[in-house]
Structure 1
Amino acid sequence: MSVLARKATAEFAGSAFLVMAVVGSGVMASRLSPSDVGLQLLQNSIATGAALVALIAALQPISASFNPVVTLVERALGLVDTRTVLGLVVAQVLGGLTGSVLANLMFGLAPVAASSQERAGAGIWLGEVVATVGLLLVVFGAVRSGRADRVAVAVGGYITAAYWFTSSTSFANPAVTIARTITDTFAGIAPSSAPAFILAQLLGGAAGYFLVRFLYPTAADSAAVLTDRKVLS
């Protein structure tokens, strides 16, 4: 199996399990705590953060972005080439959609159901920009400062917190956003709301890239990570 195929498979599997964690825990939370939205969000955020820690820790030696914005910034930093970016982004989107379908089926729901949950407004879109900038700062701050082994815990902790301090509940991921349009559950987002979310995430990605480059101007650590990845491949 080629290096790209292995990376794409890791991204597909990781994205699928991540979305299963988001959607599945949302369904479970709404069934266990039907009258307490705050408790539902707490349960959803803890499950998502814990899943991220486990998935990144397991798949990081191969590929563990699970997020097109992170992958695009990796390209901008010279960590991956364009062909790899295309392969990984496709895998992330397909993995996310698969995760939504499986989560729906596990809980006895229709495999695909367009979400009716509208998420729109300037404050919510700003929340997505902020959430995405913060995610990139956590990911690449750890990597470019030579602490890539801490990315799993850092990302899991950040997303758990960002569920609560951002108005959008921190999707911060175009692949996950697309996947959440086909589940009419607690974690869903209406298809009509998704384009603005994705645009906000891309804007946050651009801002996060420039912030990372300003705070960590040397690419020495990034080059070292790339070398490690090639060795592991």
Structure 2
Amino acid sequence: MRPLSHRLLAEYLGSLLLAALVIGSGIAARSLSPHDIGLQLLENAAATAVGLYAIILIFGPVSGAHFNPAVSLADAALGGLAWRDVPAYAAAQITGCVSGAVLANTIFDLAPVSISTTDRATLPHGLSEVVATAGLLLVIFSLVRTGRATLAPAAVGAYIGAAYFFTSSTSFANPAITIGRVFSDTFAGIAPSSVPAYVLAQLIAVPLAVLLVRVLHPAPTTSGATVTDQLDTEGQPR
């Protein structure tokens, strides 16, 4: 396993790129298709799905490419990441997502920081976040515990791209990106008042997903329970 400092740098940079990808593609979509919100969402989802695939390939062998406190919590609960490392991972992820929002705003010549005014807190949105987050965790840890972690980059990208459309919340599924999206009053933004409901729903999904993973895959078929434990630095099974 890599030193913690290396893993935290990977989590920060990956989270930064993830937020820049989600927010930047949302800004571009609104500019390219100003009168068609469905097309805007499709453009945002497609860019996020393929971009996330690439980002996981870059950072997965270093840190496991969590970019998400919910993933780090689940990984620790399933015996992968050390519990003592979870707070540091979460801090790197949140800081990275906020930095990515600032970067995306700046890239598109907007104010570096603009607090979103998009209110998203409704009961259907909260339920959507439970479903989206639990589904994401099931995708990741079902693959990890069955020795198929090398499929995770494609599977996660595909799932998130699909979840943009089958959830009313457009599948944030990540407390760090939820916080980061506050800092951009653009297509992908979320008002600060909506954040607690989203984060609560995402955290509720963690024990549900862990329970389901343990039931469906009681014992890992390979040693370890993280992507990092199953990949070497070249991304090949050990």
One fold, TM greater than 0.5?
yes
What range describes the TM-score normalised by the shorter chain of this pair?
over 0.9
Percent sequence identity over matched residues?
Answer: 52
Alpha-carbon contact 1:79-1:222 (below 8 Å) kept: no
Q: Deviations over 1:96-154 (max 9, x none)?
A: 00000000011111111110100021111100000001000100011101000000000
- Structure 1: segments with no counterpart, 5+ residues: none
Query: 2:236: which partner in 1?
Result: none
Does structure 1 residue 112 correspond to structure 2 residue 113?
yes
Alpha-carbon contact 1:143-1:222 (below 8 Å) kept: no
**Distance change >3 Å, CA 158–CA 230, structure 1 → 2:** closer
Q: Which runs of 4+ in 1 moved over 6 A?
A: none
**What pairs with 1:53-132 in structure 2 (closer than 5 Å)?**
53-63=53-63, 64-132=65-133
Q: Letter of the 2:201 partner, please give it.
A: A
Alpha-carbon contact 1:21-1:47 (below 8 Å) kept: yes
- Distance in 1, matches of 2:140 and 2:230, equals 16
Number of equivalences? 231
- Distance in 1, matches of 2:155 and 2:206, equals 18
Q: Please state how far the C-alpha of 1:78 moved relative to its aligned partner.
A: 1.3
Q: Please state how far the C-alpha of 1:230 moved relative to its aligned partner.
A: 9.4
What secondary structure is seen at the aligned counterpart in 1 of 2:218?
coil
Query: 1:175: which partner in 2?
Result: 176
Alpha-carbon contact 2:72-2:90 (below 8 Å) kept: yes
TM-score (norm 2): 0.93
**What pairs with 1:151-170 in structure 2 (closer than 5 Å)?**
151-170=152-171
Alpha-carbon contact 1:68-1:89 (below 8 Å) kept: yes
TM-score (norm 1): 0.95
Q: Please state how far the C-alpha of 1:226 moved relative to its aligned partner.
A: 7.3
Does structure 1 residue 191 correspond to structure 2 residue 192?
yes
Query: 1:211: which partner in 2?
Result: 212
Alpha-carbon contact 1:163-1:169 (below 8 Å) kept: yes
**What pairs with 1:215-226 in structure 2 (closer than 5 Å)?**
215-221=216-222, 223=224, 225=226
Q: Letter of the 2:83 partner, please give it.
A: T
- Distance in 2, matches of 1:159 and 1:226, equals 18
Q: Please state how far the C-alpha of 1:219 moved relative to its aligned partner.
A: 3.5
**Distance change >3 Å, CA 226–CA 171, structure 1 → 2:** closer
Alpha-carbon contact 1:20-1:99 (below 8 Å) kept: yes
**Distance change >3 Å, CA 82–CA 123, structure 1 → 2:** same
Alpha-carbon contact 1:135-1:155 (below 8 Å) kept: yes
Q: Please state how far the C-alpha of 1:82 moved relative to its aligned partner.
A: 2.1
- Distance in 1, matches of 2:88 and 2:140, equals 21
Q: Deviations over 1:2-22 (max 9, x none)?
A: 700000000000000000000
